[in-house]
Amino acid sequence: MQKKLLHTLLALVTSISIQSCCKINKGGISVPIVILPHGEKFPIPSQATAGSAGFDLMAAVDHPITIKPGEVVFIPAGFCMQLPRGYFAYITSRSGIAKKFKVATFIPSIIDADYTGEISTGLYNQGTEDYIVKPGARISQMVILRFFNVDWQPTHSLLPTDRGEGGFGSTGLNPR
């Protein structure tokens, strides 16, 4: 009985928090987006295929930008958005650019629901040649993910596991 009540309350709270700024549609959510003046001539973020998890972000710039080897340049995406509580955006590299040109996001970025400023991508040129970002180029991808708040339970010990305190590399390279 308590478990069913907990699930019902969780569903209600989730529904209320999403409905406060966004709507659920077709298995997804509607997210308010503000297109900034320098982003008006570029498409809003979109998924390349029906099976794509990431939304392509475009370079909202008026002229080509050169990123020299070893350099990091932050490129604006030309929009702001407001995610519902319980969601965040994860911005990461586009695999084709990373593979072909050795240009990747400087650090994968987490965009919290309460951040409403312009979205941008830090691109890091790890290659040996200049990389040119053209206006409207697809520069990174953004995935919208759900997260859960945590109620930490301080304790003096944890239940035993097969791994225990084994950290980096402790499970080896070969299949088990």
Give yes or no for residue 141 having a pLDDT over 50: yes
Average pLDDT over residues 69-73: 96
Listed ranges 102-106, 110-114, 164-168; the one with the highest mean pLDDT: 110-114
Q: Which CATH class is domain 31-146?
A: mainly beta
Q: Would you kindly state where each structural domain of the chain is located, as residue ranges?
A: 31-146
Three-state DSSP at 95 gives: helix
When pLDDT is cut at 50, 70 and 90, the band that residue 20 belongs to is very low
Residue 104: both structure tokens together: 């990747």
Residue 81: both structure tokens together: 């958005």
Tens of pLDDT, residue by residue over 79-108, are: 999 999 999 999 999 988 999 999 999 888
Give yes or no for residue 3 having a pLDDT over 70: no
What is the structure's pLDDT at 88? 97
What is the 8-class DSSP label of residue 45?
Answer: P
